[in-house]
Structure 1
Amino acid sequence: MSHWPIGVIYIELTPRQKQILAIVKEKGPITGEQIAEFLGLTRATIRPDLAILTMSGYLEARPRVGYFYAGDENRSLWLRRLRAIPVRAHHAPPVVVGEADSVREAIVRLFLEDVGTLYVLGRERLLAGVVSRKDLLRAAIGRQNLDEVPVGVIMTRMPNIVTVSPDDSVYDAAVKLLEYQVDSLPVVVPRGENRHALEVVGRFTKTTVTRVFVALGRDEPWVGGES
């Protein structure tokens, strides 16, 4: 287990991430393709590992040069900054449809809003599921009448949905995006005492992560949410 200094949040690395760190320490600067070759893997396979190590401050990435080992001091600073940025300050408004809405209506909404995922609301406008581009594409290439098929038939239902809280850090949310390979996460708050009754208050996307990291890289204060 890899630890931060006492009093600082730590992150546990996987065996492959530790291998990557060892390679970069010895061979850096080194490209992602070269790291993958040392491991006998493809660049796509290790892309999530490189992203996590970079976000955590273990590595630095420089265009047309490759990856460098950042060192403990830099890593600690980056993680503390990321842990201090809450999701509530940066999430975008949610894009939703009703569980009884037709697949055709959902497709129109998806394209009008230019998003990859719609959040589906059920009774009392609580989160009931999510529907993705792939879900809608599968329905569209079938022989069903899209005006007659409700979104509830093709969506992924609760509790099989990855969510994030407004109080979570953008780092934790970014890790979920990578681990579960999704384009966005519904930002939810419990309604009442039932922890399974979730109200959708926003969406956290890969675009959000990109904007936060650009702001951090420029050492700029991050003001406002995602447009």
Structure 2
Amino acid sequence: MEFTKRQREIIEIVKNEQPISGNKIAQHLNLTRPTLRNDLSILTMTGMLDAKPKVGYFYSGQHANPLTFETLYEVPVATVMLTPVLIKPTTTLQDAVTTLFMYDIGSLYVADDEQQLLGVISRKDLLRATLNTQDLTQIFASMIMTRMPNITTITAEDRILDAGYLLMSHQVDSLPVLAERSKKVVGKVTKTKIMQYFVEVGMKIEHEKYD
């Protein structure tokens, strides 16, 4: 994998001033911290940098094999996406709770008849609503869901690396996968599924290395 000019500059800054925080790296480049998130994520995932909470970034120099990087991070989300569980905005809170536990999932996607995403309901949303409601048949999904466009989504063509970064930065357990240039829900990607993929591919690479 070829690093960008900015990524090479970040490596040199960390080499010279390690440990160094993301904010100080941004100051060196006259950029904002959010602007560097993707670059820092790539550099740590490829092994060039190491990061320790409340300490900062270190140079490790362990550049991952390009094939390994491409296999692990640059494959499309379609490779790991799962079938979403959809409910309608008129679904009652009682039925939503039943559906959540029946499928043993962390969130429900609220969609219209054309599978256009309208909102998301998490376990926390349902727990909060049930604690404040006595009659679960009188509260509907549309009343407690997080609505579009306040939902982080991704497409099937995006990279697994991008999905992992969004899951981490937004601190959510899953992302709705939408059709390209559309709000139609075609799948979902979860932290658990991405971790499973990384482990399975990593074990395969390790096996082939010593086979």
Q: Give the TM-score, by structure 1 length.
A: 0.66
Q: Give 1:97 deviation, angstroms.
A: 0.9
Structure 1, residues 7-54: CA drift from partner, whole Å, max 9, x if none?
xx95997xxxx59x9349xxxxxxxxxxxxxxxxxxxxxxx9xx9465
Kept in 2: contact 1:118–1:131 (CA 8 A): yes
Q: Distance in 2 between matches of 1:22 and 1:57?
A: 15
1:57 Cα offset (Å): 3.0
Task: Verify: 1:202 aligned to 2:187, yes or no.
Answer: yes
Aligned to 2:144: 154
For residues 76-87 of structure 1, what are the structure 2 equivalents within 5 Å? 78-87=68-77
Task: String of CA shifts for 1:135-189, please: whole Å, max 9, x gaps.
Answer: 1011100134111111000000000000010000101000000010000000111
> In the alignment, what sits opposite 1:111?
101
RMSD between superposed Cα atoms in Å: 3.6
Within the candidate set 196, 203, 218, 2:203 is matched to 218
How far apart are 1:211 and its partner, in Å? 1.2
Contact (CA 8 Å) 1:98, 1:121: kept in 2 or not?
A: yes
Q: State whether structure 2 residue 167 is matched by structure 1 residue 177.
A: yes
Contact 2:46 2:64 in 1 (8 A): no
Task: Tell me the equivalent position of 1:139.
Answer: 129
Letter in 1 for 2:136: L
Letter in 2 for 1:152: S
Q: Are residues 147 and 85 of structure 1, via their aligned partners in 2, closer, same or farther at CA, if it must alter by over 3 Å?
A: same
**Structure 1 residues 58, 81: CA separation in 2 closer, same or farther (over 3 Å shift)?**
farther
Unmatched tracts of structure 1, length 5 or more: 25-47, 62-67, 222-227
TM-superposed deviation, 1:122: 2.3
Counterparts of 1:11 and 1:144 in 2: how far apart (Å)? Answer: 58
SS in 2 for 1:153: helix
Is contact 2:46–2:63 with CA below 8 Å preserved after alignment? no
Give how far 1:220 is off. Answer: 4.6
Q: Which moved more, 1:82-91 or 1:181-190?
A: 82-91
Alpha-carbon shift at residue 218 of structure 1 (Å):
1.3
- The answer to whether the 8 Å contact 1:56/1:78 transfers is no
- What is the TM-score normalised by the length of structure 2? 0.71
Change (3 A) 1:12 1:126: farther
How many residues were matched structurally? Answer: 180
Answer whether contact 1:131 1:156 (CA < 8 A) is retained: yes
Equivalence for 2:81: 91
Once superposed, which parts of structure 1, at least 4 consecutive aligned residues long, lie more than 4 Å away?
9-13, 51-54, 75-78
Change in 2 beyond 3 A, CA 1:112/1:12: farther
The residue that corresponds to 1:4 in the other structure is 3
Separation (CA, whole Å) in 1 of partners of 2:204 and 2:146: 39
Contact kept, 8 Å, 1:57 with 1:75, in 2: the verdict is no
Gaps of 5+ in 2: 21-36, 52-57, 207-211
Deviates more, 1:110-119 or 1:72-81: 72-81
Shift of 1:219: 3.2
